[in-house]
Amino acid sequence: MPIQKTHQKVDINKRRVINGEDADVIQLYPMRHTFAWDAYNVGNSNHWLPTEITMQNDIEQWRASDVLTDDERSAFKTVLGFFTTADSIAANNIVIAMYKHVTSPECRMYLLRQAYEEAIHTHAYQYIVESLGLDEGEIFNMYREVDAIYNKASFILSFNEGIFDSNFKTGTFESDQKFLENVCIFSLILEGIFFYSAFAVILGFHRQNKMVGSAEQIQYIMRDESQHLNFGINIINTIKEEQPELWTPEFQQKIVNNIREAVNLEVEFATSVFPKGIFGMNAEGFRQYIQHIADRRLARVGLPLQYNVPNPFPWMSESIDLNKEKNFFETRVTEYQVGGTLDW
């Protein structure tokens, strides 16, 4: 379609996350969803690459016979098995499904950044697998072989039928609800719940001074993921403001039910992968931790808490919130700012 020639400027009041004015190009201004632009800038200043982190200690510990127990090795490999494919599910959802229905230029800018970060995460897992000389076929195929991983991946992928369909279009009550449901599932559940027992295990290694290079990779990933989750929550809350009719009591109940089902799947994952517990975290601790974070996700989109349990792993929130204090984050950011100035 040729570009329409007009002096008519874009009307900020017609900007919407979905169902906004059709545009042939991204006109970033006038900017309405400033949370997305802020997230884009945070993403850039948090930029990192897996290969910057030395894996030497991890390689030595993995080769040594007296550092890791058999249970620890198996737990390490299984969480890696979950991770290697999980970020690509998020990436596919952004690129193949979500992006084309989003009509806010600034939200699209962040989605482009987020998609790249998902690629960096998949790269990080590949880098760990390669550095440690693990069997790639074993790790990368786990989502089809290990029930607890398969069940989580299938649960998420079962929501793809709607907005992945090439005929899917927003603009009706049903399709807009379908889009909103997709964001809830991918943000609140995939990015907000399904990563967290695996994160806890890797940080458990870190707290024992084991596999610290891998743990550092995962800390960077956690920092990115908490931004992805924030952005998803902002998208949900903004669509609720722009199209309040979508947020019906039935719809809210459906989201709550999905989150409750996801909590069960995540508890099943944690208890089957670490049957004897690991680093002092036992089945009951994982259950409470997962319920606790699910409540936090529910609260942020205005849905009722379901579990009301205290956080049994308070050190997890410290690890997520440490980004401003910890030195390695700050030094990377500075390096990127210097490296960003090209000298021809």
- Whose Cβ is closer to Fe ion: residue 120's or residue 283's? 120
Q: How far is the CB of 30 from Fe ion (least distance, A)?
A: 28
Our CB check for Fe ion shows the closer of 90 and 142 to be 90
Q: Single out the catalytic residue among 40, 125, 127, 289.
A: 125
Please give the size of the binding site for Fe ion, defined by CB under 5 A: 3
> Nearer Cβ to Fe ion, position 181 or 191?
191
* Interactions with Fe ion, residue window 124-143 (CB under 5 A): none
- 87 marked among binding-site residues: yes
90 binds Fe ion (CB under 5 A): yes
Residue 83 to residue 121: CA distance in whole angstroms: 9
Residue whose beta carbon is closest to Fe ion: 228
Q: Of 233, 255, 211, 321, which Cα lies nearest the Cα of 17? A: 233
For Fe ion, which is the closer residue by CB, 77 or 228?
228
- Does 24 appear as a known binding residue? no
- The verdict on whether residue 118 carries a ligand-binding annotation is yes
**Nearest residue (CB) to Fe ion, 191 versus 266:** 191
CB of 221 to Fe ion, least distance (A): 8
Q: Determine if residue 292 is labeled as part of a ligand binding site.
A: no
Is 70 annotated in a binding site? The answer is: no
Of 312, 313, 194, 201, whose CA–CA distance to 262 is shortest?
A: 194
121 is in an annotated binding site: yes
The CB-of-281 to Fe ion minimum distance in angstroms stands at 23
As measured in angstroms, the least distance from the Cβ of 19 to Fe ion is 25
CB of residue 184 vs Fe ion: minimum separation in angstroms? Answer: 15
- Interface characters, 156-195, with Fe ion (x: CB under 5 A): -----------------------------------x----
99 is catalytic: no
Q: Which of residues 198-237 bind Fe ion (CB under 5 A)?
A: 228
Q: Which residues sit in the known binding site for Fe cation?
A: 87, 118, 121, 191, 225, 228
Report the catalytic residues: 125
Residues at the interface with Fe ion (CB under 5 A): 90, 191, 228
